[in-house]
Structure 1
């Protein structure tokens, strides 16, 4: 991994807890990457995520599009988001890094932090917006900001469009892999770890495509039904952290321990919660054909090597969960409008093309999909730097 452009550690003067910011690369002086909050967050974790954002931006580079890829960055705060001190800590963190957000780091929701909370804290910290650094790159800032605000106001079945597009992209990645392998959707089973924004939307889109979700896991454990779970009922029974109220379970739904989602007979596993969820030990329990990384960095490298040796394919996070970030910029730059059907159609088309390109490259190079995705990004980064420059 290359050395990041900027890496800093902040210590909160009130709690002694720490936060991190890593800017991996700039394009036209701007970078993009969310802000996460979780107990145990580290500088190395944030650096890895920032590098992943650089690749996500490059992978969505379209020379014909209005969206200009940005550099990659990430922020992280080492605190449980349920801690009563968390919001004050978030505000103080944003005040501390305010010059970076104002000038060259665009950020937003990530693990442990919803966009509404980030927006509220940003205002309290004295910021115009968490993405204000990108405003100078826009042709018409006022129209672009209105378009993005309108898009965030769009709801589908009572759920915000911003909470759905990422899961739409993950589900389309699954469907593209199934189509390439000639596997029908009907009868294909999926297990999802995490029923928050990304996991919940993924489960919804997979079910509506005809797959059967047989297991979901949250902080309380795993809910299993080999005949298929009622995904819509579980989504309606979630709290703000994606934890399902068990009173909503049906008689044939069973509760199992937390790691049971790894071995429920599903062909598709979707880790959509924390990083480092699958390691060299628990990978032995996996009997799926595909692991689709809706979370950031959920499969450790040593685990991925062992999985590959067993014929289990990992579809990497840098491709699979890149739809949310891309949707922000497609909307802000004007490639799409504030419309749900247009957003879903554009997301599906873009994600399918990217997954198919990655899998074709993997076959040609006799490499893993992750190595293929990294190779595609490596091809594009010099082109982006030559066209747009790092700082200008």
Structure 2
């Protein structure tokens, strides 16, 4: 873990509402749930599987979820943002024991899943795997805790199930909406540089749901995707990779099929993505991958944080000082979460065009507002976005009451 704690990104100094540390009785692996804040008794945030995952990491991610939820608050929407939460298990998704560790963890935190914590796929965990595991517990869904807030939970569940069945050119809609939002945010920032999309180059680290969809929508906007990195290395082509072919032939964990590389495509080492010459750099895989040392290799004008907490504070300060725009994670990658709730609450239907319009317009608006405020105040995009979060959280608290107790964590321990 890096020397600088990611919890330095947590909003405010108040303790989270709840922290849970679980130890697997079979393997000794640890799992964590952090509920940062409750709104109307419920919090939202995904569950990740990552060897080396820590409580501090999950705490920072939960605070980030509070921000993502708050940013999409609009009083006219049916969807009212929830509080933020996150789960994590210290196990590699490739570990043969991971499925059983996951099941035991979910069984241990079942009361939270039923009543307070709505969760979904995250790093190292696919939604279909999670759905199978929660079904074994007798839960209707990994978001069962939200059902009491719905006017018609059966209709809402039907709508979400239909949305999950929608395919867009060979890829499921829920695997696309997050990356669509990342691409919309990056393209909004690119527009302010005066560089046309068809003159721009992008590099994406990570080719799973978020990275793959980001690459697809950047390429469809005319951007040349000149580098893609997965767990096995980096694939490059200065003339642009055939994103669509590689997307439709990747493995379930986002691995690129090297047998499907085209003319001019070359393989290089896994760290090469960081220093490739490009306009847009998208870290879409792991946290803490841009640090105070390796940030000096970055040549991009724009960093769009598709992953959670990929850039450490010292690195971001250095990047901003030399003119690189860092679009913060809790803005850039917030569309997946928002799409779930827009669909479940009925702000949009189970329709790809509706989803595309809602995600694109919302993300472009949020990004434009953030960058305008940063320019007006002379602060970083992250600071400007945090100001928007604080304003919306105050509005939510006025409407629903404070979502975080004034005392220390209820039953949590470190």
User: For the superposition of Structure 1 and Structure 2, which TM-score range results when normalised by the shorter chain?
Assistant: over 0.9
Give me the whole-angstrom Cα distance separating, in 2, the residues matched to 1:12 and 1:255: 39
What is the Cα deviation at residue 391 of structure 1? 6.3
**Residue number in structure 2 paired with 1:376:** 388
Answering whether residue 358 of structure 2 is matched by residue 346 of structure 1, we say yes
Answering whether residue 46 of structure 2 is matched by residue 34 of structure 1, we say yes
**Residue number in structure 2 paired with 1:229:** 241
Q: Is the 8 A contact 2:47 2:87 kept in 1?
A: yes
Q: Is the 8 A contact 1:203 1:213 kept in 2?
A: yes
Give me the whole-angstrom Cα distance separating, in 1, the residues matched to 2:326 and 2:186: 11
Moved more, 238-247 or 197-206: 238-247
**Residue number in structure 2 paired with 1:55:** 67
Alignment: residue pair count: 392
Give me the whole-angstrom Cα distance separating, in 1, the residues matched to 2:26 and 2:135: 20
What is the Cα deviation at residue 8 of structure 1? 1.3
Q: Is the 8 A contact 1:92 1:125 kept in 2?
A: no
Give SS of 2:366's match.
Answer: helix
* Aligned with residue 157 of structure 1, among 169, 181, 206: 169
Superposed CA deviations along residues 275-320 of structure 1, whole A, max 9, x for unmatched, are 1111111111101101000010111111101111111110011000
Give me the whole-angstrom Cα distance separating, in 1, the residues matched to 2:17 and 2:272: 40
What is the Cα deviation at residue 126 of structure 1? 2.9
**Residue number in structure 1 paired with 2:330:** 318
**Residue number in structure 2 paired with 1:13:** 25
- 1:1-392 to 2 correspondences below 5 Å: 1=10, 2=13, 3-390=15-402
Give SS of 1:186's match.
Answer: helix
Q: Is the 8 A contact 1:95 1:126 kept in 2?
A: no
Give SS of 1:235's match.
Answer: helix
Which runs of 5 or more residues in structure 1 are unaligned? Answer: none
Superposed CA deviations along residues 28-77 of structure 1, whole A, max 9, x for unmatched, are 00000000001000000000000000000000001111101000000000
Q: Is the 8 A contact 2:134 2:141 kept in 1?
A: yes
Q: Is the 8 A contact 1:29 1:390 kept in 2?
A: no
When the two chains are superposed, the root-mean-square deviation of aligned CA atoms in Å is 1.1
Superposed CA deviations along residues 155-214 of structure 1, whole A, max 9, x for unmatched, are 111211000111110010011112233321111000000000100000000000010000
Give me the whole-angstrom Cα distance separating, in 1, the residues matched to 2:50 and 2:29: 11
TM-score where L is the length of structure 1: 0.98
What is the Cα deviation at residue 327 of structure 1? 0.1
Superposed CA deviations along residues 103-124 of structure 1, whole A, max 9, x for unmatched, are 1100000000010001001111
What is the Cα deviation at residue 236 of structure 1? 2.3
